[in-house]
A and B are shown apart, each in its own frame.
Chain A
């Protein structure tokens, strides 16, 4: 049995991989990718209904909610007010009262606005939300979010959708050394090894969307990410050997035939 559970507020999971629902070619592929990923958390967005759209198909019918907990996000919000309203609407749609809080400060890079995110965190924590705060890989803000009551802090590995991997592992490591809440590396994961690197550093989880959804074979990439996260977690728990400058023989140096 797995006793290495991820706990965020009142939520508890065996899988440490969070996966998105955006950018898939169709719901069928998305559903298969979710299954292959073993993820127990998937993210969704909240948007205006299209008043002209006559197809009433809900994406939620393609998510196995017996196995998966839905995590709404505030993607696209640029101010605390927008993010607060979005979080409240997400709860009213019937989703659990936790939120991937994302307040963007720059349209082109999608870099987070930490000041607005912090303001929003305080309000939503007060309203009973478990807040997972998306932020830069910045130790000072990671602490601020923790102090403001965030249930988890989610530093980016690289810009959203960029697939550049973990650009500054040292920053992630420093955040991890000082954290008292789970740290989920969110954004930037392009391929399996990026997830492994995040987990080997000691991250509590990885959240990704584009790396799977836009892979040539999303289902295969989802499985690769599952294995990568598990592998990185095991390697972290096992404790790697220190790096040394010189060789150290693996076979006995005594008794060699001369």
Chain B
């Protein structure tokens, strides 16, 4: 299915957010995820299903002032 992740189109097969983070090789302890502009709580990563054309933001902490 096609997903838009951080503004980029990606073709990925994944059932839920845990799958998605695994396939992107991201550590799910250090990121936060937004699905179609709504924050997804960490404990709901495994039962949040993804569908075609979903828009995701995956963020982490970086240096700032």
Known A-B contacts: A70-B61, A75-B64. Give 11 more (CB < 8 A): A23-B65, A30-B63, A43-B65, A49-B60, A51-B5, A51-B6, A51-B8, A56-B25, A59-B61, A85-B34, A88-B34
Query: Is the CB of A140 closer than 8 A to any CB of chain B?
Result: no
Q: Given the complex, which residues of A lie within 8 Å of B61, measured CB to CB?
A: 44-46, 58-60, 70, 72, 90, 93, 95
Query: Is the CB of A141 closer than 8 A to any CB of chain B?
Result: no
Contact B59 A93 (CB under 8 A): yes
Contacting A45 at CB < 8 Å: which of B29, B40, B57, B64? Answer: B64
Q: Given the complex, which residues of B lie within 8 Å of A85, measured CB to CB?
A: 34, 37, 39, 57
Chain B residue, CB-CB nearest to A89: B32
For the complex, would chain A's binding face be called helix, strand, loop or mixed by DSSP majority?
mixed
Instruction: Determine how close the nearest CB of chain A comes to the CB of B61; give it in whole angstroms.
Output: 5
Query: Is the CB of A135 closer than 8 A to any CB of chain B?
Result: no
1/0 per residue, CB under 8 A from A, across B11-47: the answer is: 0000000000000111101111110010111100000
Contacting A92 at CB < 8 Å: which of B6, B24, B41, B63? Answer: B41
Query: Is the CB of B1 closer than 8 A to any CB of chain A?
Result: no
Q: Given the complex, which residues of A lie within 8 Å of B33, measured CB to CB?
A: 92
* Interchain CA distance A85-B38 in the complex, whole Å: 8
Contacting A24 at CB < 8 Å: which of B24, B60, B63? Answer: B63
Total count of chain A residues near the partner, CB < 8 A: 39
* Interchain CA distance A44-B25 in the complex, whole Å: 23
Query: Is the CB of A111 closer than 8 A to any CB of chain B?
Result: no
Contact A47 B65 (CB under 8 A): no
Total count of chain B residues near the partner, CB < 8 A: 29
Q: Given the complex, which residues of B lie within 8 Å of A51, measured CB to CB?
A: 5-6, 8, 10, 24, 58
List the interface of chain B (C-beta within 8 A of A). 5-8, 10, 24-27, 29-34, 37, 39-42, 57-65
Instruction: Determine how close the nearest CB of chain B comes to the CB of A218; give it in whole angstroms.
Output: 13
Contact B59 A20 (CB under 8 A): no
Q: Given the complex, which residues of B lie within 8 Å of A69, measured CB to CB?
A: none
Q: Given the complex, which residues of B lie within 8 Å of A45, measured CB to CB?
A: 61-65
Contact A21 B30, CB 8 Å, known A49-B6, A51-B5, A51-B24: no
Q: Given the complex, which residues of A lie within 8 Å of B32, measured CB to CB?
A: 46, 89-90, 92-93
**Which A152-166 residues have C-beta < 8 A from chain B?**
160-161
Contact A89 B63 (CB under 8 A): no
Q: Given the complex, which residues of B lie within 8 Å of A37, measured CB to CB?
A: none
Contact A58 B64, CB 8 Å, known A89-B32, A93-B31: no
